[in-house]
Amino acid sequence: MKNNIVILGGGQAGIYAAREIRQNDSKSNIKILGEENLLPYERPPLSKDFLLDKKKEEDLYFHSSDVLKNENIEFENISINKVDFENKKLFAKNDNVYSYDSLLISTGSENKKLSLDNNLKNDIYYLRNLEEAKKIKEIVSNKNKITIIGGGFIGLEIASSLSQLQKKVIVIEIGNQLMGRIIPKQIADLVQNTHIEHGNEIILNKQIEKITKKNGDYEILLNDNSLIETDFIIAGIGSTPTVKLFENTNLKLDNGIVTNQFCETSIKDVFAAGDVSNFYHPFYERNMRLESYQHAQNHGICAGKNIAGVKTEYTSIPWMWSDQFNLNLQLTGICDEYDEIIERGNDINNGVIYFFLKNNKIRGACGVGIIGKVGRDIRITSKLTEKDTIVDKQILSDQNLKLNKLIQK
């Protein structure tokens, strides 16, 4: 049967879904609607190699327009501003109307904004897309002392890149550690030390009271009355799923679009994938929302299969990374449900990993080390988690013993 399949949101999950649908369905029309006038591209380099000029715009695209053409996938640059699920229609600002038989929502997430006086709204920069990355890159070339508000992954990656561009960087974080409570404090501290060793200033436990503009520069007043002078401000204070469009519809929302393990939403023929979806994970027996590269790809592929009628459960064990200076941090599984923590290694040069266990099985792990030092072990950890293996804690805690000994073939 020939269907009209529409993908709302032309990012990573959207493009992987489109290609997967085509693999399983040669006939249907597949149309991606994306508000960025760009083919789907990778976001991770925006805060890292793109700012550092090690990657150019053309290196970021997942696929060329030829690939899309060959697979008969249409990409249209348009912003949708109204949906009618009952009549299966999407409406654009310019009065274009798009009808669908099946719809995938992959609108991603958007940055939280600081609540500030109106007259400062255009002075604070955020990083989510290529356009913003280009702007930041251009402006920082003339700035010296840059303040990052928010010590999460993206803020710290920007701080690392700007430091490598010889800028003086200050990071202000409201919490008592970097990268949020999901990261073990010990690992957050190791990352913090690396920033400090490279000359970045890290301020924890402080809130912004007020920002004032002075002769083109800024003064940031903190809640302990200290004052920071800076000539450029970037905020990375977290993100929220892009769901505004669906707020007054029947679509079930709860920290994103609620989906089951088949990427199905509460409305028939409507699917969701990637950052925007709060999905049911059958292994962990709970819902979760992830913002990660691997998840956007795999979840997109899984949605694609289900849209094409190949019923497939989403069972990927979560995984994400962050690169800062010469460190590579990786997170697998979930680290907030455990009855025991086991530490492997204590030297960042050889990698340090914290395993989170429940009933002697790994639920998740977080590791950091000089580039290359934790990847293999974290990967093996994902496999052990997935296989629900009862693990030998002696092997987990001893860096001289190889973890692959734990995999039952």
Partner 1 sequence: MSEENWIEVGATDSIEEEDLIRFDHQDKTFCVYKLTDGFYATDGICTHEAVHLEDGLVMDDEIECPMHQGIFNIKSGEALSPPACEDLKTYPVKVDNDKIFIKID
Question: Closest approach of Cβ 133 to partner 1, in Å?
Answer: 17
- Give the number of other CB atoms < 10 A from CB of residue 252: 13
- Binder of residue 374, out of partner 1, ligand FAD, none (CB less than 5 to 8 A by kind): partner 1
Residue (18 or 172) nearer to ligand FAD, CB: 18
328 binds, among ligand FAD, partner 1, none (CB under 5 to 8 A by kind): partner 1
79 binds ligand FAD (CB under 6 A): yes
Shortest Å distance, C-beta 26 to partner 1? 23
Q: Does 321 bind ligand FAD (CB under 6 A)?
A: yes
Site for ligand FAD in 38-57 (CB under 6 A): 43-44, 46-47
When CB distances to ligand FAD are compared, the closest residue is 11
Kindly state the helix (H) or strand (E) to which residue 19 belongs, with its residue range.
Answer: helix 12-24
Q: In 215-337, which ranges are E strands?
A: 217-222, 227-230, 232-235, 239-241, 257-259, 270-272, 277-281, 286-288, 319-324, 327-333
DSSP conformational letter for 57: G
> Of these, 180, 282, 309, 372, which contacts partner 1 (CB under 8 A)?
372
Q: How far is CA 103 from CA 39, 52, 88, 301, in A?
A: 19, 38, 8, 14
- Given a contact cutoff of 8 angstroms between Cβ atoms, the answer to whether 124 and 234 are in contact is yes
From 102, 106, 163, 194, residue interacting with ligand FAD (rule: CB under 6 A): 106
Binds 373: which of partner 1, ligand FAD, none (CB < 5-8 Å by kind) = partner 1
**Chain centre distance of CA 250:** 27
Output the six-digit token pair for 333: 């599984």
Query: Is residue 320 involved in binding ligand FAD (CB under 6 A)?
Result: yes
Q: How far is the CB of 291 from ligand FAD (least distance, A)?
A: 4
**257 lies in the site for ligand FAD, by CB under 6 A:** no
* Closest listed residue to residue 392, CA positions, set 357, 368, 367: 357
Binding marks (x or -) toward partner 1, 245..284, rule CB under 8 A?
----------------------------------------
| Number of residues forming the site for partner 1 (CB under 8 A) | 20
- Nearer of residues 202 and 365 to partner 1, judged by Cβ: 365
207: left (phi over 0), alpha (psi -120 to 50) or beta: beta
Q: Quick one: 408 exposed, middle or buried, by C-beta within 10 A (0-12, 13-18, 19+)? A: exposed
CA 57 to chain centre: 19
For position 293 contacting ligand FAD by CB under 6 A, the verdict is: yes
Which DSSP letter does residue 301 get?
H
Q: With contact defined as beta carbons under 8 Å apart, do 401 and 394 qualify?
A: yes
Mapping DSSP onto H, E and C, the string for 311-327 reads CCCCCCCCEEEEEECCE
Structure token pair of residue 2: 């020939």
Q: Which of 291, 325, 373, 384 binds partner 1 (CB under 8 A)?
A: 373
Residue ranges binding partner 1 (CB under 8 A):
42, 44, 49, 62, 293-294, 297, 319, 321, 323, 328, 371-376, 379-380, 404
Residue ranges binding ligand FAD (CB under 6 A):
8-14, 33-36, 43-44, 46-47, 79-80, 106-108, 127-128, 154, 242, 245, 274-276, 291-293, 296, 320-322
